[in-house]
Amino acid sequence: MLAGFSFIITILSYVGAKILYRKKQSVFLSPLVICPFILISLLLSFHVSLETYSAGTQWITNMLQPAIVAFAVPLYKYRALLKKYALEIALGVLGGSTIAIVSSVMYGKLFHLTPQLLDSLAPRSITTPIAMNISQTIGGLPAMTASFVIVTGIAGIVAGPFILKWLPIHHQVSKGMLLGMGAHGAGTAQAYEIGSIEGAIASLTMIVAGIITIMVAPILVPYLH
């Protein structure tokens, strides 16, 4: 009963936030920011356990998997564009992924976080399912990584528009790469708001960053401790 209710409230808060966000484009109204805030407040005030909530919303989370598979469609549609910029994307994403891992761990050390938290932070710049997988492999806490990924998404969609405005970054490919590398799925959604080419590049960047991070993180992270 409560589980079913969790499902309905999650969907309703999402639809509501989306309508509000469309009217007033403030990042604080972005569903990724406002929905978890509302839902956590509800769980705490009505003393609903996370287990109950998760049981009811399991299928929402499960849909992330076919949603990732769905990215095959924009990749296929824009394959000519991707071929044209293959080298730029490969080198840019390799650089971006390395900086993401190194800067996460280094800044984390600066703030005296425990090694387990550093490992949980390392894969935070890529999409949730892959990030959780890597976190597990290198000895982090996958659930903590999931929340770091979400915070990354929020930070990215807050900072992204300012960075695009202030820095001399004009090429559609650069804009897509910046958003896809910096803020995974959330950045990709924002890139689609700019244009379909930016969106396609961002989605490819997100996927390539995931694959590169799978290979780089387990080798790089032990050296950073």
Partner 1 sequence: MYILKCIAQIGGLLGIALLGNKITQVFDLHFPGSILGILFIFLLLEAKIISLEWVETGANLLIAELILFFIPSAVGVVQYKQLIITNGASFGFVIFLSTVTVMISTGLLAEFLNKVGKGR
In the region spanning residues 74 to 113, those forming contacts with partner 1, defined by CB under 8 A, are 74-77, 79, 85, 87-88, 91-93, 95-96, 99-100, 103-104, 107-108, 110-113
Question: In b/e form, how buried is each residue of 7-43, taking b as 16+ CB within 10 angstroms?
Answer: bebbeebbeebeeebeeeeebebbbbbbbeebbeebb
| # residues near partner 1 by CB under 8 A | 103
Q: How far is the CB of 2 from partner 1 (least distance, A)?
A: 14
Q: How many helices (H) and strands (E) does the chain have?
A: 12, 0
Q: How far is the CB of 176 from partner 1 (least distance, A)?
A: 8
Q: Is 123 in the site for partner 1 (CB under 8 A)?
A: no
Q: What one-letter code names the amino acid at 27?
A: V
Give 173's Cβ-side CA count (13 Å radius): 14
Residue 16 C-alpha from the chain's centroid: 22
Cβ–Cβ under 8 Å, residues 126 and 149: yes
Q: How far is the CB of 44 from partner 1 (least distance, A)?
A: 7
Residue 174 or residue 221: which is nearer to partner 1 going by CB?
Answer: 174
Q: Is 183 in the site for partner 1 (CB under 8 A)?
A: yes
Cβ–Cβ under 8 Å, residues 52 and 6: yes
Q: How far apart are CA 210 and CA 225, in angstroms?
A: 22
Q: How far is the CB of 74 from partner 1 (least distance, A)?
A: 7
Residue 49 host element (H or E): none
Residue 93 or residue 221: which is nearer to partner 1 going by CB?
Answer: 93
Q: Is 25 in the site for partner 1 (CB under 8 A)?
A: no
Options 3, 5, 16, 36; binder of partner 1; rule CB under 8 A = 36
Q: Is 135 in the site for partner 1 (CB under 8 A)?
A: no
Residue 31 or residue 221: which is nearer to partner 1 going by CB?
Answer: 31
Q: Is 217 in the site for partner 1 (CB under 8 A)?
A: no
Options 178, 191, 212, 221; binder of partner 1; rule CB under 8 A = 178
Q: Given the structure tokens 């959604």, which residue do they identify?
A: 189
Cβ–Cβ under 8 Å, residues 203 and 71: yes
Options 78, 182, 212, 221; binder of partner 1; rule CB under 8 A = 182
Q: How far is the CB of 75 from partner 1 (least distance, A)?
A: 6
Q: How far apart are CA 211 and CA 142, in angstroms?
A: 17
Options 20, 144, 197, 224; binder of partner 1; rule CB under 8 A = 144
